[in-house]
Chain A
Amino acid sequence: MIVATRKPIEEIIGFLAPYDSILILGCGTCVTVCNSGGEREVALIHSALRVAQTKGLLDGKRFHEYTVKRQCDNEFLEAIKGKSYEVDAILTLACGVGVQVLAEFFPHVVCIPGLNTLFMGSSSKLGIWDERCAGCGDCRLYETGGICPITRCAKGILNGPCGGSKDGKCEVDREMDCGWIMIYERLLKLGRVQTLRTYVPPREYSLKKKPKRVMIA
Chain B
Amino acid sequence: MAISLFEEKLNSKKFVVTAEVGPPKGSDLSHTKKIIELLKDRVDALNVTDHQSSVMRYPSLGVCLLIKEMGGEPILQMTCRDRNRIALQADLLFAYSRGIKNVLCLTGDAVEIGDHKDAKPVFDLDSVQLIRTIKTLESGYDLSGSKLSGKVEFFIGASCNPEADPIEPQLFKFEKKVESGARFFQTQGIYDVSSLRKFMQYARQFPVKILAGIIVLFSYKMALYMNENVPGIRVPSEVLEELRGLDRQAAEKKGIEIASRTIRKIKEENLCQGIHIMAIGREHIIPEVLEASGL
Listed in ascending order, the chain A residues whose CB lies under 8 Å from chain B are: 154-168, 171-174, 180-181, 184, 193, 196-197, 199, 201-203, 205
Given A159-B128, A159-B176, A163-B188, residue A184 in contact with residue B113 (CB < 8 A)? no
Chain B min CB distance to A90 (Å): 31
Pull 10 A–B residue pairs with CB atoms less than 8 Å apart, ordered by A.
Answer: A155-B123, A155-B126, A157-B123, A159-B176, A161-B173, A162-B107, A164-B232, A166-B231, A168-B165, A199-B128
- Docked Cα-Cα span, A154 to B121, in Å, equals 10
B169–A181 CB distance below 8 A: yes
CB < 8 Å neighbour of B129 from A193, A201, A205? A201
Tell me if A196 and B169 are in contact (CB < 8 A): yes
A158 to chain B, nearest CB (A): 6
- Residue of A156, A164, A171 most packed against chain B (CB within 10 A): A164
Let me know if B264 is at the binding interface, CB within 8 A: no
C-alpha spacing A172/B108, complex, angstroms = 12
B93-132 CB contacts (< 8 Å) to partner A = 106-110, 112-113, 121, 123-129, 132
B203–chain A nearest beta-carbon distance, Å? 16
Given A155-B107, A161-B170; A197-B176 close (CB under 8 Å): yes
Contacts of A202 in B (CB 8 A): 85, 124-125, 129, 143
* A85 smallest CB distance to B (angstroms): 42
> Considering the chains assembled together, what is the distance between the CA atoms of A171 and B180 in angstroms?
25
Contacts of B160 in A (CB 8 A): 163
B57 within 8 A of A: no
Q: Tell me the residues in window 182-198 of chain B with beta carbons closer than 8 Å to chain A beta carbons.
A: 188
Contact A197:B175 (CB < 8 A) given known A156-B123, A163-B231, A171-B110: yes
Question: How distant is A134 from chain B, measured CB to nearest CB, in Å?
Answer: 12
How far, in whole Å, are A202 and B106 apart by their CA atoms in the complex? 15
Smallest beta-carbon distance B14→chain A, Å: 27
Known contacts A159-B173, A160-B172; A167 and B165 CB within 8 A of each other: yes
CA distance A168 to B165 in the complex (A): 7
Contact between B129 and A184, CB atoms less than 8 A apart: no
The answer to whether A172 touches B112, judged by C-beta atoms less than 8 angstroms apart, is yes
What's the Cα separation between A67 and B277 when bound, in Å? 63
**Do A160 and B176 have beta carbons less than 8 Å apart?**
yes
Q: Give chain B nearest CB distance to A200 CB in angstroms.
A: 8
Query: A171 and B176 in contact (CB under 8 A), knowing A159-B128, A163-B231, A181-B166?
Result: no
> What's the count of A-B pairs with C-beta under 8 Å?
95
What residues of A have a CB within 8 angstroms of the CB of B161 in the complex?
163
B179 located at the interface, meaning its Cβ lies under 8 Å from any Cβ of chain A in the complex: yes
Known: A158-B126, A161-B169, A172-B112. A199 touches B179 (CB 8 A): yes
- A202 and B165 alpha carbons, distance in the complex (Å): 27
Q: Which of A154, A156, A157 contacts B112 (CB 8 A)?
A: A154
Interchain CB contact under 8 A, B232 and A159: no
Distance in Å from the Cβ of A186 to the closest Cβ of chain B?
12
Contacts of A181 in B (CB 8 A): 166, 169
Most buried by A among B81, B132, B172: B172
Known: A154-B112, A184-B166, A199-B128. A165 touches B232 (CB 8 A): yes
* Cβ–Cβ contact A164 & B123, under 8 A: no
B164 touches A157 (CB 8 A): no
Closest to A194 in B: B172
Q: Does B168 contact A (CB under 8 A)?
A: yes
Residues of chain A lying within 8 A (CB to CB) of residue B253: none
**Chain B residues, Cβ within 8 Å of A197:** 172, 175-176
Q: Which among B169, B180, B234 is the interface contact of A184 at CB below 8 angstroms?
A: B169
| Distance, CA A163 to CA B169, complexed state (A) | 11
With A and B bound together, what is the CA distance between A173 and B113 in angstroms? 9
How far is it, in angstroms, between the C-alpha of A160 and the C-alpha of B109 when the chains are bound? Answer: 15
- A197 closest partner in B (C-beta): B172
